[in-house]
Structures are given as C-alpha cells and as structure tokens.
Amino acid sequence: MSTILEQKCPCCGGAVEFDSGVQKLKCPYCDTEFDITAMPEDTSNQVEQINWNSQGAQWGAGETDGISVYACNSCGGEIVADATTGATECPYCGNQVVMKGQFSGALRPDLVIPFKLDKKAAKEALKKHISTKKFVPKSFLEDNRLEEIKGVYVPHWLFTCDAVGNASYKAKKVRKWSDDNYDYTETSYFDIYRSGNIGFDNIPVDGSTKMPDDLMESVEPFDLSQAVDFNTAYLAGYLADKYDVTAEQSMPRANERIRQSIIDSFKETVKGYDEVENQGANMIVANGLYKYALYPVWLLNTKWNGENFTFAMNGQTGKFVGNIPTDKKAVTKASLLLGAGIGAAIYGLMWLLELL
Amino acid sequence: MTKKIFAIIIAALICASFVFSASAYTQQYVIDYADKLSSSEIEELDSFAEKIEAAYGVTVLFCITEGTGDVTAAEFASGTYSDYTDNENGLIIVHDDWNKAYSVFTSGNADEYFSDAAIDSMTDAYDTDDSYYGGIYACYELAEEYLENGYSGGYVNDSEPLNNGTDTIGASEEKDGVSIIWLPVSLLIGLLVGFLIINSIASKNKSVHMQKNATVYTRPGSMVITGSADNFLYSNVEKKEKPKQQNKN
C-alpha cells in the first residue's frame, strides 16, 4: 500500500477542499475556512500508512505494473489508481485524497496555479460554447449529456531559455507599368537573411500522456504571475496527475515552438516585399532552465451518438475549447441557399445597372 | 418542412432564371459574315440595336460580308433582312468589304425616317472610323438620332419637324437587358462565395489545435537582430501586348 494525504478540518475532522472562489481551504461540513499557509502540508497525524495483506488470489507478475493501491484514511476503503494519479476521490466515501508520494522529493512541483473558476463556471461555459456555435446537429443540442466534469491539475514542464538563431527567406517584389502597346510586369527575387536572439519564458509542454496535447495547448495561455509555490493543500477537491513524460522527452516540442517563433518573429522584420517565404532556420538554445508546474484545467466529457466529446476550460482564465460536431446537411443546404441568393442578387444588380 | 421550403426556394430561383432568360433573349442585329468583329463587340452592338428597336419599333441591321455570292447586292440585302427579323419596319445596311460597296434595304415606315441623305451620312460615319466596331457604332448613333428627332431625308441638325410636329417617333419605354450567359456565371460565383462563407462559419466549431509557435512566451523586449542581409538575386520582366481594335483597312 502507498500513502495518502487528506486535509482534515481541525474543527470537525471532515475532509477539506480548496475553494477557488475564496482561494482558501474550506470544510464542506462546517464551512470553516483556512489559509493555505495555516494548514500544515504534511504532518505525522495526517499521514497514515496501512498495510493490507490479500487473502485472495495473488496478482501475477507484471499484472500490478502501472497500478497503485491506497487506503482511504476516512473510511478505510481501498483506492485503486494508476501509477500517475496524484489526487483523486475515494469511491466509497467521496473524500478527496492526495497521493503524497506522487509529489514528494524530485517529483515535487515547483509551482501550481490554483483554480480560479469553479465547476459551475465550467458548466456555464460549456452551455455558452455550444449555444454560440452554428450548424450544430439539433440532436446534439438535445441529446448530448454531460457525463463527467472534473477539475484536474495537469502537470506541465515550463521551459525558459535564450535562443540564438538565424533564418533565411526568399522574397519577391512585383512592379507593373504600361506604355501604349504593352503591359509590363517585373518580378524581382531576393535572398533574405536574419540572425538574432530571442528570450522565452516558461513555454509550457504537457507532461501527461493522459491529456491530449492539442487540448492542453488549446487552453493556453496561463498567467504564470499568479502561480504560487506548490502546496498539496491546493490539490484538495481536485484530481491531479504526476508527470509521466519527462522534461527531456518534452524538450523537442518546446524546441519546435521556439524554432517556429524565431522564423515568425524574424519574418516580421522583413519588410517592403510582396511575398516572403521561409527557406530554413537554425537555432541554439542557451541558458535553458525548466520548471515543473501544475496547471488547473476543467475537463468536461459529453456523449452523443455513442461518441465521446471532451471539452476543456482553463481553470484560471476561463478559456474554453472543444470540438463540436457539424451538421453536414445543414452546411450544404445553407451553402446552396446563400449561394443562390448571392447569385440572384448579382444577376439582379447587373440588370439594375444595365437599366440605369 | 425545411425540405419543402428549400425545394420551393430552389424552384422559385429556377423559375426566376427562366423568366430572366426569356426576357434577356437578344436577337442578332449585326451579321458579321466577314469575321471582322469579336463576339463581345457584336454583343455590344446588338445590345445598342436592340435598344433602338425597343424604343422606336424600327429594326436597324448591319451586315459585313465579303461578296454577295450568286445574288445581286439588293437581293442579298433584302434576303438577309428577312432572314434576321420579322419586323415590318426596319433597315439593313450591307457593306461588301471585298468590293467596297454598300447596299441598303428599307422596309415599312423606315423609308420615312431614313432618307437617302440620312443613309449616306450613316455610311459616311461608318467609313470615317478606323475600326469596324467604331464605324457600326457611329452608324447606330446616327440612326438613333434620326429616329429620336423624327427627321426624314434631312440631317440631324435640321430644325424642320417631321410628322406634323411630332417630336418623337415611338412611345415605348427604353429597355435593356443582361445576357442570359451571366445568369449561370452569377449563380456559380454566388455558390462559391456562399460555400466559402458557410464553411468558414462551420470551421469555428473546431477549436482544438496545436499551437504553432511560442511567440506569446517571448520575453518582452528580448528580440535583438544581430545580422541582416537583403540580397538581390535576379529579376524577370514579362511583356504582354495590349489588346487592339481591328482596323478594317
């Protein structure tokens, strides 16, 4: 058995949760609020290690790989979680528990951005997100049901560096003129070169294989100025995972974004041309540093026609993303109707101009 | 219900296109056997002649040919006139470009409006212009002026009124139209624009995508350009001849 941590209310002994509205820990039973700093992060009376001996069949070799088993401090129920789960809910008593070992030692996050928005805000954002979209199948609006909503602290690696790079571009200038007999077009080609330095701060890369990378990058950016030093108390009431993608494994994605930033930023300094096309870029990253942080994300799962749809909301800024199905028949109809209308209007206008 | 509305709208649009197409039908007024005019020039001249016919009820045809075959010039003119119009009131000027000769055939009350002198002034105007198109256009302009002022046998600037003081001949409202060719073109453009607009709106239903770069994480003021070079490689000059009007000589 592994060890778990529950934040207990000193008044009534109930499991406390982090309240994003007041940015404090709050006991849902007696409504007492506590500052994060007032709550000891890890004390001996809060940590309990229970060893259980199985009387039934034994797990075979390798069967328990990737599974961790914990015992709930409140009810003693057995919590089975995967190897990366850092905070979850007891399936028997509903108490929020934090797997202490997942965030200790080298695995301890440097920073955490606490949730600013609650579950209600996430639900409202989902409604708004769907209602503002066009050509959503009617049955999706009527039949899709919110299967699950969970606040998750998603592990991210934050990369800070100074990038030294160069980029080359091919540019084109077009000049036109005419005389009595001919129209002339002169196209001039140029080879452009730029080199320089750019500093980057805290480029995030998703450190969890459970979370789709595109979904996590879509809810960016997070405001890191509101990040605080990690404290397990912030995890109370939410789910959390420890990273299962290392910083080294995340670096290529950070480098890819840095390289593209160099190309795009240097391109903005190439002016006075009609067309500019990148031909290549090189870069060296210096003074590279990385940090481990937990970012707050609300995940909402809905089901429609047997298909799962996952939406995500930035738990700090409220940015909401998620793909919505499109009614292809409605799109075709609307395209034909609008097209016919525009066509008729063009023809009518031609008649009008002709008659005038 | 939506399907029905959709079908009705489409049917209405198709009906409207037929109505437009029926009213947009244009008769041929300029007959170019000698192949001296472009299709767009013929279309413009036809449009002008159609306007004259609609306003005054008189058909003015113009034919360019190279020889009249086995028939006389007069027979050729009257034959061509009856081949191209059923209007009793009208005129055809045939220019034999090969023999540099004119033949004219008038029908119905066109005799009253176009005297020999008037026809001479029209052929003179045609001769004076360098291009076939310009010549015929000038000819039609004069025909319109003769018909508008209601003069017969005189020149445009004469002040003596014709038809016992009647100022104008023909009372119908001036009409014009757009060729039916433009209807499918308009619909095609409309469909293309409609498709682009609707698909652009529908594409907003997808909001999940990888970020392209990390520009948002650039440290403010940290970008420094240390090397910069803009080298000219080469240039091409393309020369395209401007379209010219045909010279009839």
Q: Is A166 within the bounds of a domain?
A: yes
- Better pLDDT: B135 or A192: A192
pLDDT for the residue numbered B153: 43
Are residues A96 and A219 located together in one domain of the fold?
no
- Better pLDDT: A224 or B1: A224
Q: Is A334 within the bounds of a domain?
A: no
The residue assigned the tokens 């105007």 is B125
B:148-187 residues touching chain A, CB 8 A cutoff: 175-178, 182-183, 186-187
Instruction: Tell me the chain A residues in contact with residue B201 when contact means C-beta distances shorter than 8 Å.
Output: 134-135
Residue B97 reports pLDDT greater than 90: no
Are residues A101 and A127 located together in one domain of the fold?
no
Residue A331 reports pLDDT greater than 80: yes
Q: What is the pLDDT of residues B151-171, one digit of tens each?
A: 444 444 443 433 433 333 333
For residue B5, give how far its alpha carbon lies from the nearest alpha carbon of chain A (Å): 11
Q: What is the pLDDT of residues A45-57, one digit of tens each?
A: 443 333 444 444 5
Task: Give me the DSSP letters along A114-152.
Answer: ---S-HHHHHHHHHHHHHT-SS--HHHHHH-EEEEEEEE
Task: Give me the DSSP letters along A91-113.
Answer: TTT--EEE-GGGGSGGG--SEE-
Instruction: Tell me the chain A residues in contact with residue B235 when contact means C-beta distances shorter than 8 Å.
Output: 186-189
Residue A43 reports pLDDT greater than 60: no
pTM of the model: 0.60
Query: Is A344 close to B186, i.e. CB distance below 8 A?
Result: yes
Q: Which of A218-232, A262-276, A316-330, B54-68 has the lowest mean pLDDT?
A: B54-68
What value does the mean pLDDT take over residues A203-210?
Answer: 92
Q: Quick check: B177 and B51 in contact, CB under 8 A?
A: no
Q: Quick check: A124 and A318 in contact, CB under 8 A?
A: no
A:156-175 residues touching chain B, CB 8 A cutoff: 162, 166, 171
CA B140 to chain centre: 14
Written as one letter, the residue type at B110 is A
% of chain B at pLDDT higher than 70: 76
Query: Is B194 close to A341, i.e. CB distance below 8 A?
Result: yes
**Backbone phi and psi for residue A153, each to the nearest 5 degrees, phi listed first:** -90, 110
Is B199's Cβ below 8 Å from some Cβ in A?
A: yes
Q: Quick check: A115 and A151 in contact, CB under 8 A?
A: yes
Tokens encoding A220:
């960016």
Residue A152 reports pLDDT greater than 60: yes
DSSP E strands, chain A: 4-5, 17-19, 24-26, 33-34, 47-48, 67-71, 78-82, 85-89, 96-98, 111-112, 145-178, 182-206, 228-229, 239-241, 275-304, 307-314, 320-321
Instruction: Tell me the chain A residues in contact with residue B233 when contact means C-beta distances shorter than 8 Å.
Output: 189-191
Are residues A65 and A17 located together in one domain of the fold?
yes
Give the model's confidence band at A183: pLDDT under 50 very low, under 70 low, under 90 confident, else very high. Answer: very high
Q: Is A331 within the bounds of a domain?
A: no
What value does the mean pLDDT take over residues A304-331?
Answer: 90
A:68-87 residues touching chain B, CB 8 A cutoff: none
Residue B16 reports pLDDT greater than 60: no
Q: Which of A136-150, A280-294, B1-15, B123-137 has the lowest mean pLDDT?
A: B1-15
Q: Is A341 within the bounds of a domain?
A: no
Are residues A102 and A132 located together in one domain of the fold?
no
| Closest partner CB to B237 (pick from A186, A191, A342) | A186
Q: How far apart are CA A194 and CA A280, in angstroms?
A: 11
| Closest partner CB to B182 (pick from A185, A213, A350) | A350
Tokens encoding A329:
């028949």
Domains and CATH numbers, chain B: 27-187 (3.10.310.50)
- Between helices B132-149 and B39-56, what is the axis angle to 10°? 10
Reported ipTM: the value is 0.76
Q: Which of A95-109, B86-100, B234-248 has the lowest mean pLDDT?
A: A95-109
Q: Which of A30-34, B81-85, B133-137, B145-149 has the lowest mean pLDDT?
A: A30-34
Is B230's Cβ below 8 Å from some Cβ in A?
A: yes
Q: How far apart are CA B95 and CA B189, in angstroms?
A: 41
Give the model's confidence band at B176: pLDDT under 50 very low, under 70 low, under 90 confident, else very high. Answer: low
The residue assigned the tokens 């023999």 is B99
Query: Is B186 close to A258, i.e. CB distance below 8 A?
Result: no
| Closest partner CB to A326 (pick from B205, B226, B237) | B205
Q: Is A114 within the bounds of a domain?
A: no
Q: Which of A77-81, A125-129, B29-33 has the lowest mean pLDDT?
A: A77-81
Are residues A15 and A123 located together in one domain of the fold?
no
Mutation target for A interface from B9, B186, B196: give the one with most A CBs within 10 A.
Answer: B186
Query: Is B217 close to A213, i.e. CB distance below 8 A?
Result: no
Are residues A140 and A283 located together in one domain of the fold?
yes
Query: Is A325 close to B197, i.e. CB distance below 8 A?
Result: no
Query: Is A326 close to B224, i.e. CB distance below 8 A?
Result: no
What value does the mean pLDDT take over residues A326-338?
Answer: 91
pLDDT for the residue numbered B79: 87
What value does the mean pLDDT take over residues A303-307?
Answer: 83
| Closest partner CB to A220 (pick from B206, B211, B237) | B211
Range of the domain at A32: 4-108
Bridge-based pairing state of the strands A320-321 and A85-89: unpaired
pLDDT for the residue numbered A40: 59
pLDDT for the residue numbered A125: 92
Residue A15 reports pLDDT greater than 50: yes
- Mean pLDDT score across all residues of chain B: 77
| Closest partner CB to B227 (pick from A194, A213, A215) | A194
Are residues A52 and A178 located together in one domain of the fold?
no
Domain edge (last residue) among A77, A108, A139:
A108
What value does the mean pLDDT take over residues B114-132?
Answer: 83
What value does the mean pLDDT take over residues A330-345?
Answer: 92
Q: How far apart are CA B159 and CA A108, in angstroms?
A: 107
Q: State the Cα torsion A220-A225-A231-A233 to the nearest 10°.
A: -70
In this structure, the number of other CB atoms found within 10 A of the CB of residue B218 comes to 20
- Better pLDDT: B83 or A297: A297
Are residues A93 and A145 located together in one domain of the fold?
no
Q: What is the pLDDT of residues B77-94, one digit of tens each?
A: 888 888 888 888 888 988
Are residues A79 and A157 located together in one domain of the fold?
no
- Mean pLDDT score across all residues of chain A: 83
% of chain B at pLDDT higher than 90: 19
Instruction: Tell me the chain A residues in contact with residue B194 when contact means C-beta distances shorter than 8 Å.
Output: 334-342
Domain edge (last residue) among A108, A141, A159:
A108
Bridge partners of A194?
A: A167, B228
Q: Is A207 within the bounds of a domain?
A: yes
Instruction: Tell me the chain B residues in contact with residue A197 when contact means C-beta distances shorter than 8 Å.
Output: 222-224, 226
Are residues A171 and A81 located together in one domain of the fold?
no
pLDDT for the residue numbered A61: 59
Are residues A30 and A156 located together in one domain of the fold?
no
What value does the mean pLDDT take over residues A273-296?
Answer: 93
In total, how many domains does chain A have? 2
- Asked if residue A221 has a cis previous peptide bond (ω within 30° of 0), the answer is yes
Q: Is A339 within the bounds of a domain?
A: no
Q: Quick check: B135 and B16 in contact, CB under 8 A?
A: no
- Better pLDDT: B99 or A276: A276
A:243-282 residues touching chain B, CB 8 A cutoff: 254, 257-258, 260-261, 263-266, 269-270
Query: Is B201 close to A134, i.e. CB distance below 8 A?
Result: yes
pLDDT for the residue numbered B110: 81
Are residues A88 and A150 located together in one domain of the fold?
no
- At A67 the three-state DSSP class reads strand
Q: Is A202 within the bounds of a domain?
A: yes
Q: How far apart are CA A47 and CA A260, in angstroms?
A: 47
